[in-house]
Amino acid sequence: MENFERNLEKYAELVIKIGVNLTSGQDLLVEAPYECLDLTRLIVQKAYEAGANFVHVHFQDDVISRSKFDHGTEASVDYYPTWYTTMLERFVENGGALLNIKVPNPDLYEGIEAAKISRNSKAAATARAKYQHYVRTGAFSWCLIKAPTEAWAAKVYADLPADQRVSAMWDAVFKINRVYEEDPVAAWRLHLDELRRMRKVLNDRGYKALRYRAAGTDLRLELPEGHIWLGGDKGNAKGIRYVANMPTEEVFTMPRRTGVRGTVASTKPLNINGALVDRFSFTFEEGKVVDFAAEVGYEHLAKLLEMDEGARYLGEVALVPFDSPISNLNRIFYNTGIDENASCHLALGSCYPINIQDGASLSNDELKARGGNTSLIHVDFMIGTADLDIDGELADGSVEPIFCAGNWALTF
């Protein structure tokens, strides 16, 4: 227990110093499940020790979240409070930082009609559009982290006795976040240096397109002129470095909105707003999803693609080697923030404007004209396998391997 408490404290310190990189005098908003109370208390403590001006905690609960669908009116399904989005916008504009212990329950909305979940998600996404623009343009420091809940641990470690699942999940969270290192903060700085080298090589290469081949996948994906590979930490509007997702193993950029053609198959389940989708595939023509299939959660996937016009186009392409820390755990986490960092992935919906030169200052129309996609959604799905090959097309028309058999062919 003593070691666990020490590791929990190291984790809290890590997410404050590396995740949001909190500066003296800054406000912090923490969003957390009730079950993560002990970690949340430590995070608040570490934030104040780092000089926080004010820390506000917004607790969340699965039973409360589901109540709207089980007992609420039809009007409540389509409602999202503007006063809450106004608070988020003012918080960002006043220089605050956000730390979210994001642990969605993959089975939370089991039995709820897909159309209701979709309507509620659209209401929230519409109301939060301005705030999400701040998120995607890196206007402020924000970080998503993970911590066990009983429901999540039961899903991921269903093969273990019930009384061992949460402990196993904590062990995984500590491992993938380098908490067991003597100095996790120093270990993360070395890791971020490595990701920085990767993105520099990719940016220097200036690929015109990527070609993907694996079982069920044959895809060509063009990259827009002026695209930028990012990964690891990034700078907010004030130049403060932060890590948007912990753990992170990816380097990513935006595809050209209308430059995707072929078929791609998923390799891991996807949690869409509390509903599970699995064994699915997409066929693209001129960037748009023109056909799709899913063995599990077809209706939920269909509703996602109907969210708006941009939902059928891609907004992100990310590279993660098959031989990597999270992938080597050989465990599906049913949590996109972890699973996407164990696998190459793509994302339906909005791009991150910062993935193109001067993108943060572009209007939506200007962004689309440069090749970026805009949408209310941004949903990552995993496509990495041990047999995935990725080639890069250079500006002169030559082709070179980027990934062979799931791993990097490039030298960093």
367 neighbors 302 (Cβ within 8 angstroms): no
Residue 324's pLDDT is 93
Instruction: Classify residue 242 as exposed, middle or buried by CB count within 10 Å of its CB (0-12, 13-18, 19+).
Output: buried
- For the segment 163-211, what is each residue's pLDDT rounded down to a tens digit? 999 999 999 999 999 999 999 999 999 999 999 999 999 999 999 999 9
The set of residues, in sequence order, having a beta carbon less than 8 Å from that of 278 and lying 6+ positions away, is 266, 269, 270, 294, 295, 296, 297
Candidates 191, 179, 202; CA nearest to 252 is 202
Residue 2's pLDDT is 61
Residue with tokens 């930082």: 97
Residue 368's pLDDT is 96
Tokens read off for 338: 């972890």
Q: What is the pTM of this model?
A: 0.94
Tokens read off for 259: 């430059």
Q: Is the pLDDT of residue 1 over 80?
A: no
CA geometry: angle 199, 358, 200, nearest 5 deg: 10
Candidates 125, 148, 151, 144; CA nearest to 36 is 148
Instruction: Classify residue 159 as exposed, middle or buried by CB count within 10 Å of its CB (0-12, 13-18, 19+).
Output: exposed
- For the segment 306-365, what is each residue's pLDDT rounded down to a tens digit? 999 999 999 999 999 999 999 999 999 999 999 999 999 999 999 999 999 999 999 999
DSSP letters, 43-76, are HHHHHHHTT-SEEEEEEE-HHHHHHHHHH--HHH
Length of the chain (residues): 412
- For the segment 367-398, what is each residue's pLDDT rounded down to a tens digit? 999 999 999 999 999 999 999 999 999 999 99
Mean pLDDT of 4-20: 97
Mean pLDDT of 271-290: 94
333 neighbors 351 (Cβ within 8 angstroms): no
What residues pair up with 220 in beta bridges, in sequence order?
A: 211, 261
Residue 105's pLDDT is 87
CA atoms within 13 A on the CB side of 389: 9
The set of residues, in sequence order, having a beta carbon less than 8 Å from that of 405 and lying 6+ positions away, is 322, 386, 387, 388, 389
Residue 100's pLDDT is 98
Helices 129-136 & 114-127 angle (0-180, nearest 10): 70
The 3-state DSSP class for residue 333 equals coil
pLDDT-derived band at 41, boundaries 50, 70, 90? very high
Write phi, then psi, for 221 (nearest 5 degrees): -130, 115
- For the segment 222-265, what is each residue's pLDDT rounded down to a tens digit? 999 999 999 999 999 999 999 999 999 999 999 999 999 999 99
**DSSP-H helix ranges across 158-252:** 165-176, 184-205
Residue 340's pLDDT is 95
How far is residue 324's CA from residue 245's CA, in Å, rounded to a whole number? 16
Tokens read off for 248: 């992170």
Residue 106's pLDDT is 83
- For the segment 112-163, what is each residue's pLDDT rounded down to a tens digit? 999 999 999 999 999 999 999 999 999 999 999 999 999 999 999 999 999 9
Mean pLDDT of 269-291: 94
What residues pair up with 4 in beta bridges, in sequence order?
A: none
Query: Radius of gyration (Cα) for the chain, nearest Å?
Result: 20
